């Protein structure tokens, strides 16, 4: 079975990346793991033209970039999205990706599809102590999963994590979460 672990942050070396690394290590005993960082890809914002609502394809010149990421979703049985809080929600880079995935979303017919039966997990982190921000991030990602027909089966919210060194004190909690994936 295949697992895709996504760093939804544009920072490749911070706390989110540290959690992605830990999750990937934990899952590697049971899955073939692919890890990506959303910032490894360059794409424009959705224009909102709705052409994809009629064709299930994006008309923008960089549509192949989104298609490349979506092929990773298609290959995965398990998807783990790890997102920090950027002003109480997912980072803009990941939101732009979600917007560009409209051709695959079940909000219109026809729509492109990925293989069914996928399970989605979410880990949200933020620097402050308020879990409500983590809940909002989890909600955004689980909403996205729903439109891709990925079953949301687990999430973890982590507060008071600003730097990658802060992950160490939460390591066991993350490991326990990974046991359920």
**Per-residue pLDDT tens over the stretch 85-103:** 999 999 999 999 999 999 9
Determine the pLDDT at residue 40.
Answer: 95
Per-residue pLDDT tens over the stretch 58-87 = 999 999 999 999 999 999 999 999 999 999
Alpha carbon of 160 to those of 91, 97, 117, 125, 126: distances in Å?
Answer: 18, 27, 34, 8, 6
Determine the pLDDT at residue 135.
Answer: 98
Q: Is the dihedral of CA 133, 135, 136, 137 positive or negative?
A: positive
Average pLDDT over residues 39-50: 96
47's tokens = 């224009």
Q: Is the dihedral of CA 98, 100, 102, 103 positive or negative?
A: negative
pTM: 0.97
Determine the pLDDT at residue 46.
Answer: 97
Domain range for 54 is 2-178
Looking at the structure of the chain, the number of domains it has is 1
Read off the CATH number of the domain in which 61 is found: 3.40.50.360
């Amino acid at each position: 079975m295949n697992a895709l672990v996504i760093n939804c942050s544009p920072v490749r070396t911070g706390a989110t990346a540290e959690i992605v690394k830990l999750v990937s290590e934990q899952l590697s005993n049971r899955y073939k793991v692919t890890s990506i960082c959303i910032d490894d890809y360059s794409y424009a914002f959705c224009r909102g033209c709705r052409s994809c609502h009629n064709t299930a394809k994006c008309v923008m010149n960089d549509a192949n970039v989104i298609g490349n990421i979506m092929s990773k979703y298609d290959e995965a049985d398990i998807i783990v999205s790890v997102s920090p809080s950027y002003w109480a929600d997912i980072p803009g880079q990941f939101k732009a990706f979600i917007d560009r995935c409209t051709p695959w979303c079940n909000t219109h017919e026809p729509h492109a599809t990925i293989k069914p039966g996928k399970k989605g997990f979410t880990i949200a982190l933020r620097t402050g102590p308020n879990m409500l921000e983590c809940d909002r991030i989890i909600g955004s990602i689980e909403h996205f999963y729903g439109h891709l027909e990925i079953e949301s089966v687990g999430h973890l919210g982590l507060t008071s994590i600003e730097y990658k060194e802060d992950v160490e004190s939460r390591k066991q909690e993350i490991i326990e979460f990974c046991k359920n994936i």
